[in-house]
Structure 1
């Protein structure tokens, strides 16, 4: 069976189509929302630290509920959790849309609303990661993940481009209104899902006990030994990059939200190409080596993007970064779905996300602080090169290299 046939086979399954349509649309608009969020925060005060405050608060909020979300999703109905989480995200973004439309947005109100949305994100992601294998037969998990990775990557193209265009034409309130509508569609399609539960789900026990059990399981999986290193790498790279990218755009290209969306759209285009490449190749051997090699290269190209003052060159570097990152992420997601026990999958997702996001608030604060004393390009490039060294070091760990 070729990868193209495998992909179309997953799309013939009703529940997977519903999941892909509803959550895919919300991914697009959530991408639009996130693409202009840092710029919106920056525009309220004119200070890079404003973006850091909002993004940092969002990261802290998501980390707060991630482990609980994983424990609940492995014990309760993942479909119901997706419905509740998306309803909460709808409420948070919708409230912010009303505040923005009435012209009463302050940095404090923005931070509160964004934090509430991120609390719901922490409940959503473990449930979503765990429900994907329940929407298709076991032999189509790789096919489903390839399709999902492609849609996720496409949303990274369309979302930022749409966010920048709508923001420039109609303001933040329009972006927020469209995002609210997308979450409504996601709730409706989730209600229509009828996922198949594989494996015996035990009755809910103490959440703390379930979290500890999940953490112990993660420690026993060689593939996940990289979580602490990845956490530090993301702290020193993505935190400063997301915080200072609006200022970099202003300093290097004399641009605004539209220019920022060009860079994020280029990254999304590369990620889509990476997902397509994965769907075509679907590597079966030495997949852990592939993951960390691709992510190391992605950090190097992000540093190059920060250092260039030529916009087409920066867009090209962003695209290559996206391709490497997208290919590596597709391999990583498939590995998790295939090697983790079904009744522990959501907890593994939550521990993984917690590990990689726990230090991100420090990264946002670090970016805002360093940005006050050094050029944005130097801070971003320095962080990305440091992350490349950290990711590359994982290739020297034998228990990771042996993961197939």
Structure 2
């Protein structure tokens, strides 16, 4: 569909990408003072086209991410089986993330991302067909989730260096804020739409997700800028294994990166368990698929607001203060969710939590973009992603087992206790001070 455009764009990789990469590697000093919101990004045709196509893909993923646990819960009645599907997705991503980073710094990033989208289109289409034929098998669903995770690891590793190529350094915070805004829009519209479509016919959300991958592939394929890596950088690599090691080697040189890779791994794992428990808790308290989608969307409203205020908030609040406020707010919010008697109250608490989590994510992402050079971006970002995702696969399984054996509210309180430990670590960690330097 877009092969000719891909070939034409790749032909220019070796001639102009080096100059663009050099320009993108500035240290980002004074970025906060230069930012005037995310609007200037829309003058960048490549970024705007990517953003729109990725929004469609995110909407599809938001629908299926709700539809997968709903399919398991309503077909088998087991929270643990729903957790197994989520674990397969995370294990798949974990298995290929490092490889994806090495490939992203060695081979065409454009072809890697487009190819991953096409594979996911085929995989999710098989789920839509199976569900339409009333064949719901946890092995099949888990296998598809595993394939999707593997594709996310390969294609996703290319996206950070791709975006660094098409967005200038002074707009990195705006880039991260707009990405978070896109994600929140998809979470706002996707879950209610996915829940409503699931109610009409269980296969429809999966078909919508499958089609969205084609749109995503088209968006990346039509980017006019060369996406790298440069010819010199490709030739510099000796082996794939050595390339993967270089990402971790760079992380070891940074006090901040050493801290964040462990902190993010634990935080992401616990939040992954919270997401599944929220769905199970709403169902337990009388909410159907549509209600679950609407309540989930309330959290996205908070996230969208967080994305809009992130640039202004990060100018006024010290970075370390932002980390500490968010860390301790998560503790209070998870206890509040466990105690909330009504679905809308769960959504309100979640919305406030995500309102703070999104600016924190913008802060951490933009800092990473500034300190990591383009020639290592694929490997370092994939190494960080690997570390962050290292425990993520355990979250849905652990949360599901706790919920099945002790009840959903108790499981939520157990995870809240773990967040207390993380908040204490954030308060005492010296590495967090580096964000203010």
Query: Match for residue 260 of structure 2?
Result: 226
2:299 aligned with 1:267, yes or no?
Answer: yes
Show CA shifts across 1:112-169 (max 9, x none). 1121111101112211122111112333333222222211221121111211121122
Seen in structure 2, the aligned counterparts of structure 1 residues 66 and 288 have a Cα distance that, compared at 3 Å, is farther
Query: Match for residue 103 of structure 1?
Result: 134
Query: Match for residue 45 of structure 2?
Result: 14
2:173 aligned with 1:142, yes or no?
Answer: yes
1:253-264 aligned at under 5 Å gives the runs: 253-264=285-296
Show CA shifts across 1:237-270 (max 9, x none). 234324433331222x211222221232111111
1:403 is paired with a residue of what secondary structure? helix
| Distance in structure 2 (CA, Å) of the matches to 1:2 and 1:25 | 32
Q: Which of 324, 330, 346 is the equivalent residue of 1:298? A: 330
| Distance in structure 2 (CA, Å) of the matches to 1:159 and 1:205 | 43
Asked if the contact 2:273/2:396 (under 8 Å) is kept, the reply is: yes
Q: What is the CA distance between 1:24 and its match in structure 2?
A: 1.4
2:159 aligned with 1:128, yes or no?
Answer: yes
1:283 is paired with a residue of what secondary structure? helix
2:227 aligned with 1:194, yes or no?
Answer: no
Q: Which of 207, 213, 238 is the equivalent residue of 1:205? A: 238
Q: What is the CA distance between 1:194 and its match in structure 2?
A: 2.5
| Distance in structure 1 (CA, Å) of the matches to 2:57 and 2:82 | 23
2:213 aligned with 1:183, yes or no?
Answer: yes
Asked if the contact 1:295/1:324 (under 8 Å) is kept, the reply is: no
| Distance in structure 2 (CA, Å) of the matches to 1:304 and 1:287 | 26
Asked if the contact 2:302/2:355 (under 8 Å) is kept, the reply is: yes
1:4-403 aligned at under 5 Å gives the runs: 5-171=36-202, 173-196=203-226, 197=228, 201-203=233-235, 204-224=237-257, 225-235=259-269, 237-251=270-284, 253-283=285-315, 286-403=318-435
Q: Please say which of residues 143-152 and 53-62 is displaced more in the overlay.
A: 143-152
| Distance in structure 2 (CA, Å) of the matches to 1:340 and 1:392 | 28
| Distance in structure 1 (CA, Å) of the matches to 2:188 and 2:35 | 22
Q: Please say which of residues 133-142 and 72-81 is displaced more in the overlay.
A: 133-142
Asked if the contact 1:228/1:356 (under 8 Å) is kept, the reply is: yes
- List runs of 5+ in structure 1 lacking aligned partners: none
Seen in structure 2, the aligned counterparts of structure 1 residues 37 and 295 have a Cα distance that, compared at 3 Å, is farther
Query: Match for residue 10 of structure 2?
Result: none
* TM-score, normalised by the number of residues in structure 1: 0.92
Asked if the contact 2:35/2:171 (under 8 Å) is kept, the reply is: no
The number of aligned residues is: 401
Across the aligned residues of Structure 1 and Structure 2, the Cα RMSD in angstroms comes to 2.2
Asked if the contact 1:274/1:324 (under 8 Å) is kept, the reply is: yes
* TM-score, normalised by the number of residues in structure 2: 0.86
Asked if the contact 1:222/1:403 (under 8 Å) is kept, the reply is: no
